[in-house]
Amino acid sequence: MGRYVIRRLLQMIPVFVGTTFLIFAMVYALGDPVAAMFGDRAPDPATLARIRAELNLDKPLLQQYLLYMGGIFTGDFGQAFNGQQVTELMGEAFPVTARLTMIAVGIEIVLGITLGLFSGLRRGRLVDTLTLISTLVVISIPVFVIGYLAQYFLAVEWQLVKPSVSSAATFDELIVPAFVLAGLSLAYVTRLTRASVAENLRADYMRTAVAKGLPRRRVIGVHLLRNSLIPVVTFIGTDIGALMGGAIVTERIFNVHGVGYQLYQGLVRGNSPTVVGFVTILVLVFLLANLLVDLLYAVLDPRIRYA
């Protein structure tokens, strides 16, 4: 078990290098960010050259990458154009987005699995149809539309919440954004659980369990749910990374100053230290979540063992 975890941690190194290089190269390919600093005015070549030299932009891609990685290993993630250290930005943004993601995942787990379980148990009935329709609506409407509508109706029309999240970004403020963020994944979780439950419902061990005279709650809670959760867990695990980095639109609409916001700003301004730094952390989170999923397999399915 311990060896397995260590092996997996070691495997993260090439993935980490691969991803950071990929992102670095992509931001590099976006082109020179310095011209845009001058606004609608053509940059003065001498000043431009100085700024480029300061940011190492005058060097070849590989050298830039190595310089950047060298910095990372000494804890220097570089600077955003407004002069702020990227590590400082991370310290502000990640806790906010982590809270947002935790609430979103919580919603997915509680609501998604419950709905999925009920519609799986009652396939073709009213509950199932209602769930189908509501998940469908969520899936089919792009997230920015849901975001704008939720904001307008909940905050402006009905005055239930504030339209934007304050810079403190407390848990209660993040509930509406988390719902918007979780919407699509919620639909996935519901449908995956439903499919999985429906399938396992017909398994013989279920018949056995019922025949043994076990209480219905135990049959569903232990035998059915536990066996149905594997694909769901896979999905949620991979979704954590996607949620954290995919909050670009949600964070923009609700004015959450989290990872998505910083990434978007960094990207729009072509600031590779910000983008690469944030994505690096996101990849780490994602890899850890993946490891978590694989370990959860063993918890959920005792037949699987890691040597």
Alpha helix positions (H), 141-271: 143-150, 175-201, 204-211, 216-218, 225-245, 248-253, 259-268
- Compose the 239-258 pattern: x for residues touching other proteins by CB under 8 A, - for all others: --xx-xxx-xx-xxxxx-x-
Contacting other proteins within 107-166 (CB under 8 A): 132, 136-137, 139-145, 148-149, 151-152, 155-156, 159, 162-164, 166
Tell me if 47 contacts other proteins by CB under 8 A. Answer: yes
State in angstroms the smallest separation of the CB of 84 from other proteins: 5
For residue 85, give the 3-state DSSP assignment: strand
State in angstroms the smallest separation of the CB of 49 from other proteins: 4
Tell me if 95 contacts other proteins by CB under 8 A. Answer: yes
State in angstroms the smallest separation of the CB of 163 from other proteins: 4
For other proteins (CB under 8 A), the number of binding residues is: 142
Side chain identity at 98, as an amino acid letter?
Answer: A
Tell me if 15 contacts other proteins by CB under 8 A. Answer: yes
* Choices 6-14, 69-77, 112-120, 211-219; region in contact with other proteins by CB under 8 A: 6-14
Among 9, 50, 110, 216, binds other proteins (CB under 8 A): 50
Question: CA 232, CA 228: separation in Å to the nearest integer?
Answer: 8
Is residue 78 within 8 A of residue 209, CB to CB? The reply is no
**DSSP letter (8 states) at residue 42:** P
- Compose the 219-238 pattern: x for residues touching other proteins by CB under 8 A, - for all others: -----------xx--xx--x
**DSSP letter (8 states) at residue 44:** P
State in angstroms the smallest separation of the CB of 211 from other proteins: 13
Is residue 93 within 8 A of residue 258, CB to CB? The reply is yes
Closest by CA position to 277, among listed 41, 76, 77, 16: 77
The rounded Cα 187 to chain-centroid distance in angstroms is: 15
Tell me if 57 contacts other proteins by CB under 8 A. Answer: no
* Choices 18-26, 65-73, 111-119, 211-219; region in contact with other proteins by CB under 8 A: 18-26
Closest by CA position to 7, among listed 237, 291, 238: 291
